[in-house]
């Protein structure tokens, strides 16, 4: 049960949609909502998820989240760790309110166009995996996290999501100034005072203070000012927080309009959704507030802006020097191509002994990004070619690019969980060589069949530890 600070309640009095009694009650009495968002590229339905999670097999069924095409509320919180589909990247466990990003993107951009998108504060990857699902395969998403210790989980979640058009970076917001007018869309899901997540994380209540709200607001301005040059003229900025405090929400909108000549953009909402539209005090920039007493979701704020100043989009330099692709031999390319469903859509690069694939249409972008940022992971790592044979990487197994002709074996849940714990597994077959281990059709990783035994190649650092 969450007891809220009086100072927080006082500071929110009078805000549009704020109802102190209902807000306090919902924090005192109701558990946070559990929701998931399906990975459309892994072709799964909510029925698959339900039938696989024993806790969900009887009783109330998942319900659609009204502002999301792939989001579902779950009637309870199952053990995701013990669900092989979770490890296969079939879905992402994400807070329902933040899935409204889909509506904001849809209302402000033509996602059928190839876009350059930056998710500046990306770990652990909720907004990035959502953005990736919304964008065309010819778009490129730079998913950045400044805090080094948080980049690993971001890279892991992006790998499981399986797409080739994401580049994970570990840079300070100001490093993006090297990419002047480069991005069509910048998403800043800013670090904040966190009042919106008090139901999920009651411990955070003790850390809340008015002084911290002010510090957060200053940091948010610094982050935005640092990244703003990287957004092209006419480009879209989407700003969000999980704070209710106007200093971190509408006031930031006013500051963006005053300092950078941004124009606030409206997003259509349905009344039944319970989302509260507000406008900033001075510039009347629209913003969208999510209160847990008005809808099924946690506290959230989001607003979109168009940049009206600065340079037009950068021209990509010619393709004279291709990014490392020269160093991938014709022979190696011949080994790699059969592993991909649509090999002509991709190009290959080498990083040390690893061969990596990215969308062919984005070769120039990789070169530009490589020269400006610290890249933690780009595209999909396919593996190493040794004696004309691919020693495959885990990222390839869980990618959405992999060819259905790659050998694989479907196993039951017990075997799938043994595999994910990196234990020994048995499959009755004469087959020898590399194969995918699949659960309900979705690859979990690689195995190597040696005749008398099977080697388990699930990444040691990802293995599940609980029994």
The kind and range of the H/E element at 251 are helix 250-260
Closer of 151 and 402 to ligand SAM (Cβ): 151
Peptide bond into 124 cis (omega under 30): yes
Piece of 68-76, 145-153, 177-185, 406-414 that binds ligand SAM (CB under 6 A)? 145-153
Give every CB contact of residue 130 below 8 A, 6+ residues apart in sequence.
37, 92, 94, 98, 99, 101, 102
State the nearest-atom distance from the C-beta of 342 to ligand SAM, in Å. 29
Residue 456: alpha-carbon gap to chain centroid = 28
CA distance 305 to 180: 18
Piece of 71-79, 144-152, 302-310, 398-406 that binds ligand SAM (CB under 6 A)? 144-152
Give every CB contact of residue 380 below 8 A, 6+ residues apart in sequence.
159, 162, 163, 164, 356, 357, 358, 395, 396, 399, 401
Piece of 143-151, 308-316, 322-330, 387-395 that binds ligand SAM (CB under 6 A)? 143-151
Residue from 7, 43, 147, 258 binding ligand SAM (CB under 6 A)? 147
Site track 71-110 with ligand SAM (rule: CB under 6 A), x = hit = ----------------------------------------
DSSP 8-state secondary structure symbol assigned to residue 275: P
From the list 330, 346, 355, the residue with the least C-alpha distance to 138 is: 346
Closer of 248 and 332 to ligand SAM (Cβ): 248
The phi, psi pair for 433, rounded to 5°, reads 125, -170
| 250-260 vs 210-227: helix crossing angle, rounded to 10 | 30
From the list 333, 328, 345, 322, the residue with the least C-alpha distance to 399 is: 345
Closer of 118 and 355 to ligand SAM (Cβ): 118
Site track 207-246 with ligand SAM (rule: CB under 6 A), x = hit = ------------x---x-----------------------
State the nearest-atom distance from the C-beta of 13 to ligand SAM, in Å. 25
Binding to ligand SAM (CB under 6 A) within 167-186 occurs at 173
List the catalytic residues: 242
State the nearest-atom distance from the C-beta of 232 to ligand SAM, in Å. 21
Site track 401-420 with ligand SAM (rule: CB under 6 A), x = hit = --------------------
DSSP 8-state secondary structure symbol assigned to residue 340: B
State the nearest-atom distance from the C-beta of 58 to ligand SAM, in Å. 32
Piece of 122-130, 327-335, 351-359, 385-393 that binds ligand SAM (CB under 6 A)? 122-130
From the list 353, 322, 356, the residue with the least C-alpha distance to 339 is: 356
Where do contacts with ligand SAM occur on this chain (CB under 6 A)? Answer: 121-127, 145-147, 150, 173, 189, 191, 219, 223
């Amino acid at each position: 049960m969450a007891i809220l600070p009086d100072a927080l309640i006082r500071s929110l009095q009078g805000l549009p949609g704020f109802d102190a009694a209902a807000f306090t009650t919902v924090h005192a009495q109701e558990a946070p909502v559990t929701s998931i968002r399906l990975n459309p590229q892994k072709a799964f339905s909510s029925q698959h998820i339900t039938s696989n999670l024993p806790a969900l097999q009887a009783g109330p069924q998942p319900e659609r989240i009204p502002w999301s095409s792939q989001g579902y509320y779950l009637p309870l919180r199952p053990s995701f760790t013990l669900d092989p589909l979770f490890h296969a990247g079939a879905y992402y466990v994400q807070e329902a309110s933040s899935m409204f990003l889909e509506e904001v993107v849809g209302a402000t951009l033509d996602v059928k166009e190839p876009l350059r998108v930056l998710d500046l504060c990306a770990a652990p990857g909720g907004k990035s995996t959502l953005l990736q699902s919304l964008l065309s395969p010819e778009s490129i998403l730079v998913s950045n996290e400044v805090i080094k210790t948080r980049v690993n989980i971001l890279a892991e979640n992006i790998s499981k999501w399986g797409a080739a058009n994401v580049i994970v970076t570990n840079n300070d917001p100001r490093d993006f100034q090297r990419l002047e007018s480069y991005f069509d869309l910048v998403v800043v899901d800013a670090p904040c005072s966190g009042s919106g997540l008090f139901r999920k994380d009651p411990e955070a209540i003790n850390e809340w203070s008015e002084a911290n709200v002010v510090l957060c607001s200053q940091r948010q301005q610094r982050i935005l000012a640092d990244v703003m040059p990287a957004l092209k003229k006419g480009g879209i900025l989407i700003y969000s927080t999980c704070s209710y405090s106007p200093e971190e929400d509408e006031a930031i909108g006013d500051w963006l309009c005053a300092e950078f000549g941004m124009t606030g953009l409206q997003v259509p909402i349905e009344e039944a959704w319970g989302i509260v539209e507000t406008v900033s005090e001075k510039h009347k920039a629209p913003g969208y507030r999510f209160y847990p007493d008005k809808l099924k979701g946690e506290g959230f704020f989001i607003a979109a802006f168009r940049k009206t100043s600065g340079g037009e989009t950068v021209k990509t330099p010619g393709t004279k020097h291709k990014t490392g692709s020269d160093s991938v031999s014709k022979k190696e390319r011949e080994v790699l191509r059969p592993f991909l469903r649509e090999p002509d859509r991709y190009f290959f690069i080498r990083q040390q002994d690893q061969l990596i694939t990215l969308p062919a249409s984005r070769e120039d972008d990789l070169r530009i990004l490589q020269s400006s940022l610290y890249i933690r992971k780009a595209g999909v790592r396919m593996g190493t070619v040794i004696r004309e044979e691919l020693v495959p990487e885990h990222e390839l197994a869980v990618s959405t690019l992999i060819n259905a002709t790659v050998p694989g074996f479907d196993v039951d849940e017990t075997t799938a969980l043994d595999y994910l714990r990196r234990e020994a597994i048995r499959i009755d077959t004469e087959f020898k060589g590399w194969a995918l281990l699949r659960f309900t059709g979705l690859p979990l990783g690689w195995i190597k069949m040696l005749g008398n035994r099977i080697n388990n190649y699930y990444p040691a650092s990802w293995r599940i530890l609980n029994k």
